[in-house]
């Protein structure tokens, strides 16, 4: 294990300890579906549920302009086709960083879709198969965001990198964003392109969340949030380490289900940020 990766793990470990000490009420409010949100164990666990009457969601009280954001999540089990569980960051005016967990028929694997919206432009979907059962236990899903790169992690493994390529005209999120989590009805698109619908006989569908601590900068003007006083802005986090690059390649080669950069029907000319 490289020194860079080891130091990263140590920071994450400290962050985990701090997160375990943070209750839901300290950093989050209900966003919608209040009667489908249950806080448990003195706010250390939150359950979001979906039935035919409503889904549910929570959102951070503050907006952030850079940071390292995470949840520990256990996804709905059994037959969850059409159900979308999401962890994302949004400015509500065109910038968004998405983890979307796409449910499936019982026995079939979950897909995780990530997306990046900048200045209202999205269409940057990537999907991977998970290499574990996300319904059996909690796993940690993380987003690192600084002025150089956005990295999506599952546990300690990077699964997506979006670099700041402003020099060639690629948009990059710079506005403050809130952290949100939700569960909702996505059966018009989420499973088999919308062909497989939700079986409401299995409702309510329940997603469980832990770790409500946030490592983020709340300077809404943004510039101060690029300071190296925040560990996630230091030079070692401007790119992946060698070990992380190797892990990332393993994910892309072994688990990638869809990459918009390779969709020539949708994009006859590859988007600027894609490898040329």
Q: What is the spatial distance between Cα 43 and Cα 183, in angstroms, rounded to a whole number?
A: 19
161 burial level (CB within 10 Å; 0-12, 13-18, 19+) = middle
Instruction: State whether residue 249 is helix, strand or coil.
Output: helix
Q: What is the spatial distance between Cα 256 and Cα 153, in angstroms, rounded to a whole number?
A: 14
SS (H, E, C) 36-101: HEEEECCCCEEEEEECCCCCEEEEECCCECEEEEEEEEECCCCCCCCEEEEEEEECCCCCEEEEEE
Find the catalytic residue in 100, 167, 180, 249.
Answer: 100
Which stretches of the chain are assigned E, i.e. beta strand?
28-32, 37-40, 45-50, 56-60, 66-74, 83-90, 96-102, 111-117, 126-129, 139-145, 149-154, 157-163, 178-185, 205-210, 215-217, 256-259
Residue 195 bears catalytic tag: no
Residue 26 bears catalytic tag: no
Q: What is the spatial distance between Cα 45 and Cα 89, in angstroms, rounded to a whole number?
A: 20
Find the catalytic residue in 26, 96, 245, 273.
Answer: 96
Q: What is the spatial distance between Cα 223 and Cα 98, in angstroms, rounded to a whole number?
A: 23
All residues at 6 or more sequence positions from 60 whose CB lies less than 8 Å from its CB, including other chains: 27, 28, 29, 178, 179, 180, 214
Task: Give the catalytic positions in this structure.
Answer: 96, 100
């Amino acid at each position: 294990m490289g020194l860079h990766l080891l130091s990263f793990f140590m920071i994450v470990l400290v962050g985990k300890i701090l997160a375990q000490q943070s209750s839901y009420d300290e950093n989050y409010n209900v966003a919608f579906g209040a009667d489908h949100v249950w806080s448990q164990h003195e706010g250390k666990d939150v359950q979001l549920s979906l039935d035919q009457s409503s889904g549910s969601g929570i959102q951070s009280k503050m907006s952030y302009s850079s940071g390292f954001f995470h949840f520990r999540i256990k996804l709905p089990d059994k037959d969850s086709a059409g159900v979308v569980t999401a962890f994302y960051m949004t400015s509500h005016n065109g910038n968004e960083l998405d983890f979307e967990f796409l449910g499936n028929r019982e026995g079939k694997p979950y897909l995780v879709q990530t997306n990046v919206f900048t200045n209202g432009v999205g269409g940057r979907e990537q999907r991977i198969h998970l290499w574990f059962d996300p319904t059996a236990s909690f796993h940690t899903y993380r987003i690192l965001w600084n002025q150089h790169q956005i990295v999506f992690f599952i546990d300690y493994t990077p699964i997506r990198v979006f670099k700041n390529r402003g020099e060639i005209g690629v948009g990059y999120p710079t506005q403050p964003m809130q952290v949100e989590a939700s569960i909702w009805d996505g059966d018009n698109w989420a499973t088999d392109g919308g062909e497989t619908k939700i079986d409401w006989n299995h409702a309510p569908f329940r997603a469980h969340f832990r770790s409500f601590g946030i490592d983020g900068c709340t300077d809404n003007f943004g510039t101060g949030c690029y300071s190296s006083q925040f560990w996630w802005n230091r030079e070692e986090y401007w790119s992946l380490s060698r070990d992380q690059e190797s892990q990332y390649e393993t994910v892309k080669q072994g688990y990638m289900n869809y990459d918009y950069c390779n969709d020539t029907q949708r994009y006859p000319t590859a988007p600027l940020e894609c490898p040329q």
